[in-house]
């Protein structure tokens, strides 16, 4: 995706009613370089930032005030529901304990959300994470490690609470 095209698409999307005209929003995001499946629904307050690759599968919901920062690659599967104010990001830093800043060189690590996942409100998906298919990430959870398929994960950091 091109950052400037995505920025312009975001300006126009913010002018569209929050939960209406999803086809127009899909068209604008595709023009900006995102690869979106059929019936992807993006709320107007969601923000997608960056210059990386974004791919979203069919019948996925991206909720109110979701923030997706794409510095490398974010793949979101089919039939995914992303709750309000969730964050998905690929950017982080190497630790530099000897330098002037502990946050050393910037790096990007791909994120993958597999088919059928439900990301609860306010959850955080950190760089390098893969959330296995049909899993649930509880509201407010911070996912820092790979989650297997068909589990419920909660907490900070997120841990598997039970199998589904």
Distance CA 122, CA 56 (A): 20
Contacts of 2 (CB under 8 A, 6+ apart): 32, 33, 51
Distance CA 89, CA 115 (A): 18
Which among 94, 40, 27, 96 is positioned nearest to 68, based on CA atoms? Answer: 40
Exactly one of 20, 30, 93, 162 is catalytic; name it: 93
Which among 115, 138, 128 is positioned nearest to 60, based on CA atoms? Answer: 115
Distance CA 136, CA 111 (A): 16
Contacts of 3 (CB under 8 A, 6+ apart): 49, 50, 51
Q: Is 101 a catalytic residue?
A: no
Catalytic residues: 93
């Amino acid at each position: 995706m091109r950052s400037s095209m995505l920025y312009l698409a975001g300006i126009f999307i913010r002018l569209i009613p929050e939960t209406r005209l999803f086809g127009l929003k899909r068209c604008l995001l595709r023009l900006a370089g995102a690869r979106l499946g059929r019936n992807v629904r993006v709320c107007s307050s969601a923000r997608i930032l960056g210059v990386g690759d974004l791919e979203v599968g069919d019948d996925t919901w991206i909720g109110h005030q979701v923030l997706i920062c794409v510095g490398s690659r974010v793949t979101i599967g089919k039939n995914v529901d992303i709750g309000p104010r969730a964050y998905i990001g690929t950017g982080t830093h190497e630790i530099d304990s000897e330098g002037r800043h502990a946050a050393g060189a910037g790096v990007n690590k791909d994120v993958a959300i597999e088919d059928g996942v439900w990301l609860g409100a306010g959850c955080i998906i950190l760089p390098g994470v893969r959330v296995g298919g049909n899993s649930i990430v509880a509201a407010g959870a911070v996912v820092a490690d790979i989650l297997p398929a068909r589990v419920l994960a909660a907490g900070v950091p997120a841990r598997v609470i039970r199998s589904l």
